[in-house]
Chain A
Amino acid sequence: MESMKKKIMEIEEIINNPEHIKTVDLKTLFNSFLSEIKNRIASYIGDYPTFIEPVFLEENVKIGDDVLLGPNVFIGTNSEIGNYVEISNSIIFENVKIGENFKIENCIISKNSVFNFSNLILKNSILSGINNREDDIRKIEL
């Protein structure tokens, strides 16, 4: 757990300074973090999403209907995942809101990010900020 926390903090620090991101370093750290959450499956009673382990949910994560999470997914405290969302190989930090029908693969989404719309496929990116439509999204390639 300690090493996991350390790595997630390192990742957070890197993505908070986007101009300094060295994609290669971040990728290594990202993969190493995802391998740490091995053999974990969240027990989430609600709308019964599908989980492919490892899936790590922090406190008070809200998950919509018909959601598929995993493998290799970390979701931070208080984040909200909309209906019909699919997430794999990704880190979602705390207080993130994902709209309906997003498919997210190999992404890091920084804390307090909001996606206030529906229907989008996101791959291999670092994302942040308040996004009220697809055009608002500023992606950094991962």
Chain B
Amino acid sequence: MPEREEKGFSRIKELESINLATDEIRDQVIQTKKEVEKDNKKLAEQLNRKFKSHKIKSYDIVGAIGAGKTAILERITEKLGLNYRILVICGDITTRVDANRIEKHNAETIQINTGRECALNAYHIHQIIKNKDLNDYDIVFIENVGNLICPSEFILGTDKRMVIVSITEGEWVIEKHPMLFKMSDIAVINKIDLLERLGTNLDKMINDAKKINPNIDVITTSAKKGQNIDKLMELMGL
């Protein structure tokens, strides 16, 4: 494979792809992967201590593109209104679309464009938080990059992680992405206003989430119609 040899795999873009490493650098790649994971965990724990010591409630919101993460955050920030000082960190490959939507609801927003990276990591959040006076905030929401796979690799130091899926993604979406449900505290099944039209098996979705993680709270919502947003906020402790 001349092309493969030419590139020499001197750079492994995705650390999890250790099978791409040549035999000569395999040990080195695995060692680096372990160190990176350890560093991320350390930074996340440090962030969590900071949030807690400032009595800040913090949430990592994950889910696929178009599941309704931003729409739900818009509903929540709208309801929280002026009573809370809110910081929303939005992760996207590119653009400031989400941050622009959310900041209309009295929240301060910071956009991170990850370029090629498919999830936020604790270092991104650390870089933002170290420049902020945490006395200025009551709640921090982190809207992760739209993706149901990569965010499971990196914890961000928030109190709670909430995974959002929508019924338009099909009733197998939860079963096919167990990792994020295992690692989340709340599962939101959004767009239930479309249930009748789509005929998605909602019970299967709920049962799948519970089967994967018996401790997860599952709630169905319609961000569009504002349905169950109050109940979701209760589950979030807001």
Contacts and interface: CB of A to CB of B under 8 A. Distances in A.
B116 A48 contact: yes
Interface stretch (B45-53, B69-77, B107-115, B190-198): B107-115
Interface in B133-185: none
B115 A51 contact: yes
Contact of B112 (A47, A48, A50): A50
A71 B94 CA distance: 15
Contacts of B127: 52, 70-71, 88
Contact of B128 (A43, A45, A48, A52): A52
Interface residues of B, number: 20
Contact of A43 (B11, B95, B124): B95
B125 to A, nearest CB: 9
Interface of A: 39, 41, 43, 45, 47-53, 66, 70-72, 88-89
Nearest to B110: A53
A116 B50 CA distance: 39
Contacts of A39: 96, 99, 103, 109
B128 A50 contact: no
B208 to A, nearest CB: 33
A71 B117 contact: no
B129 to A, nearest CB: 10
B117 A50 contact: yes
Contact of A89 (B11, B103, B131): B131
B112 A51 contact: yes
A72 B130 CA distance: 12
Contacts of B93: 48
Nearest to B131: A71
Contacts of A41: 96, 111, 113
A26 B206 CA distance: 58
17 contacts: A39-B109, A43-B95, A45-B94, A48-B115, A48-B116, A49-B115, A50-B112, A50-B113, A50-B115, A50-B124, A51-B112, A51-B115, A53-B113, A66-B11, A70-B127, A72-B131, A88-B127
